[in-house]
Chain A
């Protein structure tokens, strides 16, 4: 097992995490980056982080792969910074207080656990950066109906800026 992973429980979780993430990542662009970073060490961290992202930003139309990718991007972004240590401390809080790792807990329990720690710096950091990673994603834009840059299409002047059709009539505007 990789160094710095004391104890049987953690090693087992690392292994479980690796399997889960390898499955989730097959064919994805971030898989190479994950491999470089050493999935074996990242895996439980990725799983917990993905679960946290899902608790913080639950969208039924986004799948587990999506949250795993966001988690990987988040972890890559904080790697080697003080934020990484803070995040590790946060995950330890969530993982350490239950018999099962945070990622394996049922959704309502995950939610109530996060509610207990939602004023911790690690979670606030994850929220702000998570919002950027998730809501700058073009797939999410398509999902919620945000259309992004309009300059190349000549703006919305002739593409629906005034196409609302369900309002009661109110008479002349100006």
Chain B
């Protein structure tokens, strides 16, 4: 196993081992560079992954305190992971691409009050080849010649209802879940526990793919249980080292350059908490935009008590999609669009989600018909707003001694209008099949899509990073997660995070070879 010494300043340090950090680490190692990946959480093995949502929640989730004001749960506003693999352990595997119009949101949607809508700083064509590479790497079904996953019960209900409502762009979606044996991983067995870490490894997760591949190069060292607390700067305004806590010890690793991929909340905290004379508002924050423009999509659910058995727990969580409402059609009363996908819940999670709306027979009449339930998730674009932001609590500290992040988020009127429309759409789909009862559930799942807090752009006063995710203020500091997104699009972010990380790796490789890094 490769190990690097703490004073080896040739190493590129990546903070975080999820979709962004895991891919960037592997790609840089493949290109011949020395890489250390620092991951706050532990490294699990297949034996640790069980089919029990409650147990896996405890094993995978980032449970250090976070606070929120505004709309999110004040104590648990964000649901991401603290484990090798990061949130690719918990994700459902959905891999839609951004639509070109979504990358040109300002041009397409026009001016929208109280937002900072912009176009992405590169044309959609510049990202397209990186999407191709990402899809090939992840084996995304329905793309690049990989077959779709087979249709299961929950999907069949969604599809049948959607067709009755006149929709037609419907299939089992583009999923980073093997539909055939490939990449030394089996095809999907339909376990039904996608968000608990796939116990057979059919779902792409960096724990099973990028991390072992990077290790095989002999140029990569993973350090699990390493919680980064500081980024050290030298007199030339370059990052010289990274300080982390591991087993109660405070350790500093020298570096060539650093990429931060902490899934937005941790990325923001690390930057804001690194104040100095030269960076009085936090590292790379001369624009004042670090932590601002926080986006998370809306995520609402509709459940239908159907006339026959569905057994929606018996398959992949996200088992299919209806894409027809993902478009820009202002006649609906809002800009941008949303995707309709399937979702199942265990009885416990269903009950907890429904408890927000009521208790007693309202709740148990639905749970009594658990095996007749179909479920859908409706996820749509939210515009960037300066006031939606992540800050650091002035006094509260976590067990690392770090300030607790505070997330403030409120829905924009555009989001509220889209949600209202989406609930009606969802209800109509299940009612068209004779649902006995339809339950609309609110936007109270903690955020899993985190974006926008270190946006890319060409103007250093209007963005935090360059179009390659390099911070404008510090030339050997990169951001490699959803923080980079200037706008959120109406789709799951992971494929785009991976595409951007692959593109960033090529940029970094070129810069190192040219002697500029």
Residues of A within 8 A of B (CB): 55-61, 111, 114, 118, 127-128, 131-132, 134-136, 140-141, 144-151, 154-157, 159-168, 170, 173-174
Query: Would you give 6 A-B contacts (Cβ < 8 Å), ordered by A?
Result: A58-B361, A135-B346, A146-B313, A149-B52, A156-B152, A156-B314
Distance to closest chain B CB from A167 (angstroms): 5
Write the B343-366 contact mask toward A (1 if CB under 8 angstroms, else 0): 000111011100100011101100
Give the 9 A-B CB pairs with smallest separation, nearest first.
A155-B189, A145-B371, A166-B308, A149-B51, A144-B370, A156-B314, A135-B348, A135-B347, A131-B351
For A145, the chain B residues whose CB sits under 8 A away are: 309, 311, 370-371
The residues of B that contact A150 with a CB separation of less than 8 Å are 51, 190-193, 314
Whether B157 is near chain A, meaning CB under 8 Å from some CB there, is yes
Please tell me if B24 contacts chain A, counting CB pairs below 8 Å: no
Given contacts A57-B363, A150-B193, A164-B156, 5 further A-B contacts (CB under 8 A): A134-B351, A147-B313, A151-B191, A160-B153, A173-B156
Pairwise interchain contact A162-B364, C-beta atoms closer than 8 A: no
Q: What is the interface residue range for chain B against chain A?
A: 35 or more
Contact across chains for A166 and B307 when beta carbons are under 8 A apart = yes
Tell me which of B148, B348, B433 contacts A167 (CB under 8 A).
B433
Do most interface residues of chain B lie in helix, strand or loop, or is the interface mixed? loop
User: A59-B364, A136-B54, A160-B311 are known contacts. Are A170 and B159 too (CB-CB below 8 A)?
Assistant: yes
Partner of A56 from B157, B307, B359 at Cβ < 8 Å: B359
CA distance A102 to B418 in the complex (A): 45
Question: Is B99 close to A, CB under 8 A?
Answer: no
Bound together, the chains give a CA A132 to CA B349 distance in angstroms of: 9
Alpha-carbon distance between A118 and B360 when the two chains are bound, in angstroms:
11
Q: How far is the CB of A24 from chain B (nearest CB, A)?
A: 21
Whether A58 contacts B364 by the Cβ 8 Å rule is yes
Hey, which chain A residues are within 8 Å of B368, CB to CB? 59-61, 144
B153 with A164: CB separation less than 8 A? yes
Instruction: Decide if B308 touches A156 in the complex (CB within 8 Å).
Output: no
B151 at the interface (CB under 8 A from A): yes
Using known A-B contacts A128-B352, A173-B171, determine if residue A135 contacts B367 with beta carbons closer than 8 Å: yes
Residues of chain A within 8 A (CB-CB) of B200 are: 151, 155
Alpha-carbon separation in the docked complex, A146 to B368 (Å)? 11
A114, A140, A146, most chain B CB atoms within 10 A = A146
Contact between B191 and A155, CB atoms less than 8 A apart: yes
Is residue B142 within 8 Å, beta carbon to beta carbon, of the partner chain? Answer: yes
Give chain B residues whose Cβ lies under 8 Å from the Cβ of A135.
346-348, 350-351, 367
CA distance A174 to B309 in the complex (A): 23
Chain B residues whose C-beta falls within 8 Å of the C-beta of A118 in the assembled complex:
359
